[in-house]
A and B are shown apart, each in its own frame.
Chain A
């Protein structure tokens, strides 16, 4: 439910002075409603007018920034319950915890693992977003020492302790880095709120399994003037996962549909709790923890804290996040046409694929890493993958014949042999008939293409 340009326009000065860089106030209002410009750019507003507009423009879920400078992550900012309606904004921040009880070398190693964890998919490097320092020791001095150790870490920080004294000792060291404080509970809310105000840091409110109480306490924090709040309604795993989901969904519904100000904040989920009192083996715990992460990311978690740091556990989590947060309004397609890889000449092989961006970038990555020399014809399938477009009829003989003609590939190569993806085997005959080219059915997965080309030579 975003605000209409007209509603915004009404509150602008309507002088069309163009100081914002737009030709008119209406043009500026349109950009604002599409979240393409910042309100600050209109210099003609009184502070009161600014506040009113800011309020109107605020997303259903408040955006909360954690960290400072080049070490920041922003969470929240969503407007809708379903991504097809608009898009989900700031991707779920994926955080891994490190205990203040670890021996120095293990602590250091774990921080490094977190900093170095990355995985490349379709041209994008997927990484983690923050480090959660956990006051497992219950000791304030140890917590402060741990904060000292992550002071210069690459990522923003989440400080986890329910003890205000320990929190204070850590904030004395990293309080100027805008860490997320975790957290305020029913028992320490006064002291934690005090610290959050003093250090101007965002604060998490932890109220497990009781939304009514969560609303009261959130209200208390707001009344104290706190704006940057994160909500943790409790991550119950095992049989309790159904209740966890219900709480997440209710909070987001109250924020988006009811505009209940006490719930208009990002939600934090802690899949790491799956490991609490569990006597299963490490692999099972890792798989289950990832499963909880997938569950919560699907239903509105804006930040998750994991304990497992194995790459096989993180890859699916980061991949799911990438998918869910792709903007559905942008077509997932590359331009159809002719692409060249490596050194090509008139004898180079010609491959065929679709213009679905995931498909194209996967093929591109494989051809580059395999150092292949070839032409690739990219077919317009309206952004559909090979199997989907074969079934849907966009991947057909006529379309390929048109593509061959439009790209002028017949002037570039002497051969008349087209290598099509293995998943397109069922239309190979049709492509031969319509193009007059010889068709070879290549591998089903493009990782095998470089080898396939070498063997062909």
Chain B
């Protein structure tokens, strides 16, 4: 063996060498010096080859379980006269690693005005109750099994009906009377007025532990945080497809005195076909960060799944695409389901069929691995009709 090959051999398990003052990474040495003496190097490759030609030995099957240093905080919604619902609390990504504490939760959208803009497949189900938020909420809970109700105070929008915060609070009171599930309280999306509306609503719902939607960097999030603390509610922390924005906002909210168990995050749900993959990436990164121990991101996540209805494939009449009656619900399920599979805990939804199917799948998430009787599929090739 010539010198260079010996050197290479010597360095096989070394990362760098030190020659007096001169220091160079082994990689660099090899890269810059070798082409000149390539013959020598050829030989050292032989040793590597031997390793790849090991016999076909089978290792034992082991369930691939990972260790997670962090865990997701558990947030309680509903107190006082509400039946409580719990979000989050996961200590692992999958149920085969660690039992999942809480099934995904669905909250039905209810509005304080009749909402003529809602797509027909949804209006059909709620036409008779749209004049009354209380009746609307009741129907969502009684007929469609909503775990929660989201009271959207759209009517308070200055360009909508400019209802006063007081009037908004009254709609909240009406819904609190009508149902005993926890509420999400949403405003109109006006950065100036929203904090005032949420404050009035929070006061009206004191002690009921609602989720105030939302605090974000564009409005007076301090006021929203304070309203939550004064009247015992939780806050929805809304960021726009940006993990760092989410971290910053959560940190600000915690500086105001809220804790992990008072915050739910909304990293923004882009609908199927309209950037859903961005949401997939953000949700995945956020949940992995939580389990790795990032305390700024250890809160449960929420999805504004109703965004799906803004997609033209969901509502636009077009014969070659088939009936919107089927397309709409599927668009909402796909959007919600995709978020659920990437870590989201609570879903704001509109259509009864979508809610039903999402929950059917979501509820299996809290069972343990291989404890459910499985359907017989061994002979599917001959048994499947059609």
Contact = CB atoms under 8 A, between A and B. Distances in A.
B275 interface: yes
A185 B274 CA distance: 41
Nearest to A213: B61
Given A84-B285, A273-B377, A319 B326 contact: no
B372 to A, nearest CB: 5
A25 interface: yes
Contact of B52 (A51, A222, A272): A51
B129 interface: no
Interface string A314-339: 01100110111010100010000000
Contacts of B240: 388, 391-392
Contact of B35 (A16, A137, A276, A324): A16
A48 B313 CA distance: 53
A49 interface: yes
A312 B379 CA distance: 29
B374 interface: yes
Nearest to A388: B240
Interface residues of A, number: 104
Interface string B247-276: 000000000000000000000101011111
B321 A312 contact: yes
B116 interface: no
B241 A388 contact: yes
B365 interface: yes
A16 B32 CA distance: 12
**Interface SS of B by simple majority:** helix
B385 interface: yes
A41 interface: no
Interface string B351-386: 001000100110011010110111101111111111
Given A254-B64, A320-B272, A323-B276, A391 B52 contact: no
Given A253-B64, A316-B334, A24 B45 contact: no
Nearest to B40: A14
B313 A84 contact: no
A312 B327 contact: yes
B369 A246 contact: yes
B95 to A, nearest CB: 7
A260 to B, nearest CB: 7
A6 interface: yes
Given A391-B240, A445-B312, A241 B364 contact: yes
A235 interface: yes
A222 B56 contact: yes
Contacts of A241: 361, 364
Contact of A138 (B270, B370, B382, B385): B382
A59 interface: no
A294 interface: yes
A417 interface: no
Nearest to A54: B52
A398 to B, nearest CB: 16
Given A249-B94, A294-B333, A445-B312, A83 B277 contact: yes
Nearest to A187: B378
A11 B48 contact: yes
A262 interface: yes
Contact of A239 (B270, B320, B330, B372): B372
B382 A215 contact: no
A291 B337 contact: yes
B131 interface: no
Contacts of A119: 321
A298 B342 contact: yes
Interface in B306-363: 310, 312-313, 316, 320-323, 326-327, 329-331, 333-334, 337-338, 341-342, 353, 357, 360-361
Contacts of B95: 242, 246
A173 interface: no
B372 A160 contact: no
A371 B135 CA distance: 46
A216 B58 contact: yes
Contacts of B281: 82-84, 328
A242 B62 CA distance: 19
B30 interface: yes
B373 A272 contact: no
A397 B27 CA distance: 52
Interface in B49-75: 49, 52, 56, 58-59, 61-64
Contacts of B381: 134-136, 160-162
Interface string A124-168: 000000000011111000000000000000000000111000000
Given A222-B56, A276-B377, A316 B27 contact: no
B42 interface: yes
B364 A239 contact: yes
B341 A298 contact: yes
A328 B58 CA distance: 36
Contact of A262 (B58, B63, B218, B341): B58
A121 interface: yes
User: Nearest 9 A-B pairs (CB), nearest first?
Assistant: A312-B322, A242-B364, A84-B281, A253-B64, A14-B38, A298-B341, A212-B61, A319-B273, A323-B277
5 contacts: A9-B30, A235-B377, A238-B375, A250-B63, A294-B338
Interface of B: 27, 30-31, 34-35, 38, 41-42, 45, 48-49, 52, 56, 58-59, 61-64, 94-96, 218, 240-242, 268, 270, 272-277, 280-281, 284-285, 288, 310, 312-313, 316, 320-323, 326-327, 329-331, 333-334, 337-338, 341-342, 353, 357, 360-361, 364-365, 367, 369-370, 372-375, 377-386
